[in-house]
Structure 1
Amino acid sequence: MMSACESRSRETGGLRWLARLLAVALVICVAPAAAFAHAALIATDPADGAVLAQSPARFSLTFSEPVSPLVLNLVRPDGTVLPLTAFHLDDHTVVVDNPAPLARGTHVLSWRVVSADGHPVAGSILFSLGAPSAAPAATESVDWNLRAAIWLARVALYAGLFLGIGGAFALSFLAGGGRDGKRFVATALLAGLAAAPLSLGLQGLDALGAPLTHILTPAIWRAALETTFRFTIWIALAALLLGLLALMLPRAGKVLSLAALLGTGLALAASGHAGAADPQWLMRSMVFLHGIGIAFWCGALAPLGLALKRRAPGATAFLRRFSFSILPVVAILVIAGVVLAIVQVGTPSALLTTAYGNLLSAKLVLLAGLFSLAALNRWKLTAPAEASHAGSSRNLVRSIGVEIFLVLAVFGVAAGWRFTPPPRALALAAAQPAAIHIHTAKAMADLSLAPGHTGPVTASIMLMTGDFGPLDAKAVTLVLSKPDSGIEAIRREAHKAGDGTWRVDGLVVPLAGRWMVRLDILVSDFDMVTLKDAIAIRP
């Protein structure tokens, strides 16, 4: 049996390596990173549902964050598809050249872009030339086979990063030379190594909207390598290989497995929803710490359970080290998870009203069971198992087996976030203003309604002359109407703000859709300029 002195020495050593680990984590994570988020479409030109008098020379799509275009198509009224290949980026706006005059009728502008967080985003808008016609078929069906493949690959990648790398770390630092569970850990690492490049290829398929049969097409892999997800995959591959080397080279196992554990946190922080929010230094640090906390906890379960089941000589010492170390790790894991959840979800109601929130709610239910089991193991079953009471180890092994099952279920739920934008991104898109530019030879105006959806809004109007000079108006009146819904003119007098703009406060837009806008600008006592256009209001 281990003496009390030796036990205290090992516990003190455990605290030292844990402190070193967290110090390295914080140094790595506070490095500056670009601010990325899940992009959402906030404005288009032409507006969705617009009826144009003449063929436009170009189209524009404005997003809440920077994007990279992948596929841009125009579906004509006769159903033929015109690829749009000439475009350029202007800040958050994709400006697309129209290569040919358009025929009369309804067209569909279909777009697929990849946001800076590495996730593809797609959609379509309809507009008509001359008069609306029957809309051409341009609906995008969900490829459930591809989604299932992406989900399975993501679960396998999580298994490699958390069960594989975490298991290698546990064998090196906690098992005291024991090798029980080595085959399980190696299997998880190999599964992760297979899933990592597969996940990258599936990312390319999803980015281009291609079926599974095209996975070997070079264009698919080029598209995948243009997304930030590639950083996650490169780091994950390096970490998984280090984990395998830690199993193969036990003498260097501590150094290799520690590097692999740090790589797990870095891989998760390199892309994705959570690491994309502001402030970057905090969010990426939280993702990093959350990832290594999961790997430490979950990775140790299988080796520890198998060591106890087989009554290995060092099983009791393994249990004691894990029990001593797990409390601060779980504390950090919980704190990081709470911070991430608060930022991503925003309001408690989003847990029930958004797909992302529904998945988080399911994860919280699973975590409640997982933490309950962990508490039972820590405070009820561990001490009897350490004292070798009859049947105590068997009960603890069973409980650990249930923990592993719940961990896999959590992985499955977390993998579903790949297909859902977080409420944070949805709220950011909803808060974006609706804006139009009205230009005539005599005067022009930039009008924005913030936020650009139904409900209370604030109108901001910037006036200029037709040659972009200052326009000093005596009075400005904003008139909104929606004749197709039977809403007549809503007239509001604007007041001049201190920054030179004209504002209308307390305005309520009751319905979504296309609203007619009129600005009556009193230039002098005898000169009135009227500007007219339409603006799209989101639900």
Structure 2
Amino acid sequence: MLGIWLCAMLLGGATAAFAHAELEGAAPEPNAKYEQSPSEVRLAFNEAIEAKVGSLEVLDDQSRRVTNANPQTSDDRKSISLALPKLGEGVYTVSYAIISADGHPVSGSYVFVVGNPPQGVDASAFDPHKALGHEGHAASTQLTTNQFIIYAVRSLYYAALLWTAGLMIWPLLARSRGAAFAELRKRWEPIALRTLLVAVLLYIFVHAREILKGYPSSEYGKLFLQTSIGREWIALLALSLVGFALVRLHPAVRTVWAAAILAVESWSGHAAVFSPKSASLLFDFVHLAAAAVWVGGLTLLLLLWQKERKEAGRFAVVFSRAALLSLVLIVLSGVGMTYLFLPSLKYLFYTSWGTLLLIKTGLVVLVFGVGGTLHLKVRKGDLPTAVLLRADAALMALIIVVAALFTYISPLPANEPVTYHQMGDKLHVSFRVTPNKAGDNEFTVKVWLPDAAGAAKSVQLRLFSLDRKELGPIAVPVQPFEDTELTDFDGFVKSAYQAKGPYIPFAGRWEAEIRIMDQDDNETVQKVDFRNY
């Protein structure tokens, strides 16, 4: 439990990264003012979302739903829309709660204004999260009771999964072992299966409760029967139950069962949402299978060490070879997944996922040292020492705990829109990039000059890559547009410019240069640094 707490503290404020689907675009836009009622609400995400579970609703200023229509999901499952009736003047709240394809809840709210209602003085003053009871979703550096329960249950689940699968595989790898080996296997396989069943039930219960927090109980049926993650949970539970019927069958059958339950786990994690999907799933399956061989074999070696030292020595010969091969496969498959998940190795140093991967890598290096020493002793004909076995077991437990957390957070940090505003006596500047990613974005620049100076004569926007300083600036062709947002200041004249397009060609650190020319040809330059992932 101490290991769980320490690793959770290392995550810092990683709670915001749990959601693997990010909102990339919204229409109507947050805090925007519209003269006429929009025909629909449409939200676009960067990943596929579950189509059958979730909600999208629009509330009026009395917190009443404006329509009971059902939201519709696009064919690629990356956007969700809700048709709206004709809305009268007022402040409206859009609230959404969806589930990403890998089973993580994503929710949020924002407001927009129609017409000129008396309460629509400043849409940004509204706190829709508080009004809808969604407080507490912000990232926190404190480990809450709920987070601790999730981490503890995930650690138990992964330990039980790898232990049970490993125990079911080893009879095929170590055939014709002694009587003590067979006796231990027959005794501990049912115990492992019972532990796995309890762990799977807890795992499903805790995560289903987390996903559907705030949903009506009727949504549970949809979650389990109409979503990918729900069907995968049912498969896990079914395989856990089937395992009890296989303990007396041929080792090859039990190995097939172990491969099946590990494959289901691979399909329900990060690997299922990264491309190419086949390579991602293969790497993840090899990673889990190799870990299961190591965990199951080390458990059997420890049990044999307590029961029959000579047989433990004979088993150690087989285990040391298999363990070293397993560790090599763990490293190679881990490198493959990292290559697929991260655009650059730099991400290891500023993401929670990268921090945990570096911790896990350090632990694996220590395991290589312990395992290599154990292998050399066994080759010389010596029995394994208690110190080496305990060190290997302690490292195994820490790696499982780190992996449980590691597989829960997103490999990539969430991109957030750029929102910059600078006020001054002679100039106000506002700059926004939405959604702030590599590829298509919407760029908005607003400048306010004193009434005596008049509107801006011209505004230019250029982007400089701070990672590739040898590249020239990218000109963003901003054009004047009619701004309907409530952003006026007394004594100032506003000029608003906008552009849409792929003017951020790759992720990284950027500097926006805003050049403002007034009517007297006086130029002011404003610079804004931002980054995306």
Is TM more than 0.5 here?
yes
Distance 2:97 2:136 in 1: 14
Aligned to 1:123: 108
* 2:400 alignment partner, one of 411, 430, 436: 411
Distance 1:209 1:104 in 2: 29
Alignment of 1:396-407 (within 5 A): 397-407=386-396
Distance 1:310 1:504 in 2: 67
SS in 2 for 1:423: coil
Alignment of 1:62-81 (within 5 A): 62-67=44-49, 68=51, 70-78=54-62
2:347 corresponds to 1:377: no
Cα 1:146/1:223, change in 2 over 3 Å:
farther
2:422 corresponds to 1:422: no
SS in 2 for 1:349: helix
Superposed CA offset, 1:230-277 (max 9, x none): 343344335444554454x1xx34123211221143112212212321
* 1:180 alignment partner, one of 174, 181, 184: 184
Answer yes or no: is the 8 Å Cα contact 2:367–2:392 preserved in 1.
Answer: yes
Answer yes or no: is the 8 Å Cα contact 1:297–1:326 preserved in 2.
Answer: yes
Give the Å deviation of 1:54: 3.3
* 1:356 alignment partner, one of 346, 353, 356: 353
Cα 1:75/1:355, change in 2 over 3 Å:
farther
Give the Å deviation of 1:304: 0.9
Superposed CA offset, 1:80-135 (max 9, x none): 67686521123422111235735523x43221111222322222233233332541
2:39 corresponds to 1:39: no
Distance 2:359 2:185 in 1: 29
Cα 1:331/1:366, change in 2 over 3 Å:
closer
Distance 2:408 2:67 in 1: 26
Distance 1:94 1:362 in 2: 38
Distance 2:236 2:246 in 1: 15
2:41 corresponds to 1:59: yes
2:259 corresponds to 1:237: no
Answer yes or no: is the 8 Å Cα contact 2:60–2:90 preserved in 1.
Answer: no
SS in 2 for 1:430: coil
Cα 1:303/1:153, change in 2 over 3 Å:
same
Aligned to 1:525: none
Answer yes or no: is the 8 Å Cα contact 2:164–2:193 preserved in 1.
Answer: yes
* 1:111 alignment partner, one of 79, 96, 116: 96
Distance 1:320 1:458 in 2: 65
Distance 1:511 1:47 in 2: 25
Cα 1:235/1:313, change in 2 over 3 Å:
farther
Percent identical pairs in the alignment equals: 21
Letter in 1 for 2:512: P
Alignment of 1:136-535 (within 5 A): 136-138=127-129, 139-142=134-137, 144-174=144-174, 176-177=177-178, 178=181, 179-180=183-184, 183-210=187-214, 217-241=217-241, 243-247=243-247, 249=248, 252-311=249-308, 314-379=311-376, 381-383=377-379, 386-387=381-382, 392-393=383-384, 395=385, 397-417=386-406, 419-423=408-412, 430-434=437-441, 478-479=479-480, 510=512
Letter in 2 for 1:128: V
Q: Bigger CA drift: 418-427 or 59-68? A: 418-427
Distance 2:474 2:402 in 1: 37
Cα 1:480/1:294, change in 2 over 3 Å:
farther
Distance 2:34 2:41 in 1: 12
Answer yes or no: is the 8 Å Cα contact 2:313–2:378 preserved in 1.
Answer: no
Name the TM-score, length of structure 2 as normaliser: 0.68
Answer yes or no: is the 8 Å Cα contact 1:72–1:83 preserved in 2.
Answer: no
Letter in 2 for 1:126: V
Superposed CA offset, 1:344-389 (max 9, x none): 233223223222222222222322322222222222x3235x44xx
Answer yes or no: is the 8 Å Cα contact 1:286–1:340 preserved in 2.
Answer: yes
SS in 2 for 1:314: helix
Letter in 2 for 1:88: Q
2:80 corresponds to 1:94: yes
Cα 1:502/1:182, change in 2 over 3 Å:
closer
Answer yes or no: is the 8 Å Cα contact 2:41–2:84 preserved in 1.
Answer: yes
Cα 1:285/1:63, change in 2 over 3 Å:
same
Distance 2:401 2:325 in 1: 26
Distance 1:66 1:361 in 2: 29
Cα 1:488/1:264, change in 2 over 3 Å:
same
Cα 1:311/1:431, change in 2 over 3 Å:
same
Equivalent pairs counted in the alignment come to: 426
Distance 1:232 1:349 in 2: 33
Letter in 2 for 1:60: R
Give the Å deviation of 1:511: 9.1
Answer yes or no: is the 8 Å Cα contact 2:441–2:501 preserved in 1.
Answer: no
Distance 1:291 1:458 in 2: 48
Distance 1:454 1:488 in 2: 30
Answer yes or no: is the 8 Å Cα contact 2:27–2:43 preserved in 1.
Answer: yes
